[in-house]
Amino acid sequence: MIPNRPIAIAGAGSIGCFVGGLLADAGRAVAMLARPATIADLKANGLRLTSFEGLDRHVAADRLRLSAEGAVLADAGIVLVAVKSADTAAIAEVIARHAPPEAIVVSLQNGVSNVDVLRERLGGRRVLGAMVPFNVVTLGAGRFHRATSGDIVIARDDAGVAEQLSVPGLTVRPTDNIAGVAWGKLLLNLNNALNALSGLPLRDELSQRAWRRLLASQIDEALTVMRAEKIVPVSSTPVPSAWMPHLLRLPDGLYRLLAGRTIKIDPQARSSMWEDLQRGRITEIDYLQGEILKLAARHGIDVPLTRRVIALVREAEAQKRGAPCLAPEQVLPRAGAAAAP
């Protein structure tokens, strides 16, 4: 980080506001590039940060530099990219025009392709990948609530960006294999679509074995195409990626006993894809299940459940009626139930 330069949030939505708020609460200078509606909310209410673990902090609006214009990035030392994947190319153009060329750019986004897009659009600028394991729910009136557990992981670099971004309430750890970590997170993010299709809170959905079986079968399809591509995912939980389908298929009681020790989920937690459907937005399905579909096509591997989930999410996007509240059996491939044993 460039000394005495602010940390800029490029895309201050749920994750961006939560991360930026904790940085500001720790005394860091923070600039936020946000939508006008978000800016109005924060100016009226300040930024309240809560979590299922008991965190509750308030950051006054005057401690944040808020703007809907790219010029807010002009003196940034670090730019944290937190836009949806479909907006990556556009935000890269804003960063290229406004951020200092020496600023370090960090992707806090879902998916595995955003870092490549940023590097392509930003030329020789330094771009680091990162993985955010936790879910943040927007509750209105300036409140952003972390509803699942985990520490941010970021690519190790000579500047020690991970250490610079670690503050009370926000642990950031470096890794030498951010690509593997990103693919491991993608496996977990395959549940985003199932949660959106179910309409259920995340904890309620995962408490039902029928939904977990669907997730397990999606992960099986993903692991098959990853092996064909020679990708080795790194799990973001204590459970190795190869064991995840077995854990998910366990009876409810045994699953709760084992999973409860590794993943903490607030009753309010829902996936970002559920929120996108509720708000009538295009989801990140192409950057999650879509990545598996691309690899499957490259290797001639059939992934019927993945294709079915993509089709259902796109149908829900088109209808703009929010989450369709499907039953697990409605998600099964139409050819039969063999995809989710």
- Res. 271: pLDDT tops 90: yes
Q: Concatenate the DSSP letters of all residues of 100-122 into one string.
A: -TT-EEEE--SSSSHHHHHHHHT
Same domain, 65 and 114: yes
Q: Are 105 and 96 in contact (CB under 8 A)?
A: no
pLDDT for position 151: 95
Q: Which residue has the tokens 């991970």?
A: 162
Same domain, 149 and 233: no
Averaged pLDDT, 290-299: 98
Count Cβ atoms below 10 Å from residue 160 Cβ, excluding itself.
Answer: 12
Same domain, 91 and 238: no
Averaged pLDDT, 80-109: 97
- Res. 96: pLDDT tops 90: yes
DSSP 158: T
Backbone phi, then psi, for 155, in 5-degree steps?
A: -60, 135
pLDDT for position 256: 87
Q: Which residue has the tokens 């940034």?
A: 76
Q: What's the rounded Cα separation, in Å, for the pair 57 and 55?
A: 7
Model pLDDT for residues 149-165, shown as the tens digit of each residue: 899 999 999 999 999 99
- Res. 3: pLDDT tops 70: no
- Res. 341: pLDDT tops 70: no
* CATH number reported for the structural domain that contains residue 219 in this entry: 1.10.1040.10
Assign 260 a pLDDT band (cuts: 50, 70, 90).
Answer: low
Same domain, 132 and 184: no
Q: Which positions ≥6 away from 77 have C-beta within 8 Å?
A: 1, 2, 3, 4, 5, 6, 7, 100, 103, 104
Same domain, 119 and 214: no
Q: What's the rounded Cα separation, in Å, for the pair 224 and 213?
A: 16
In-domain check, residue 341: no
Number of compact structural domains in the chain:
2
Token pair, residue 224, equals 């098959």
Same domain, 131 and 222: no
| pTM, full prediction | 0.92
Same domain, 183 and 171: no
Same domain, 184 and 164: no
Instruction: Please give the distance of CA 287 from its chain centroid, rounded to a whole number.
Output: 11
pLDDT for position 19: 98
Tell me the percentage of the chain whose pLDDT exceeds 70: 96
Which residue, of 155, 176, 197, is where some domain finishes?
176
Backbone phi, then psi, for 162, in 5-degree steps?
A: -55, -45
Domain that holds residue 254: 179-331
* CATH number reported for the structural domain that contains residue 153 in this entry: 3.40.50.720
In this predicted model, which residue has the larger pLDDT, 259 or 287?
Answer: 287
207-210 contacts at long range (C-beta below 8 A, 24 or more positions apart): 207/252, 207/256, 208/252, 208/328, 209/249, 209/250, 209/251, 209/252, 209/255, 210/328, 210/329
In-domain check, residue 1: no
Q: What's the rounded Cα separation, in Å, for the pair 83 and 14?
A: 10
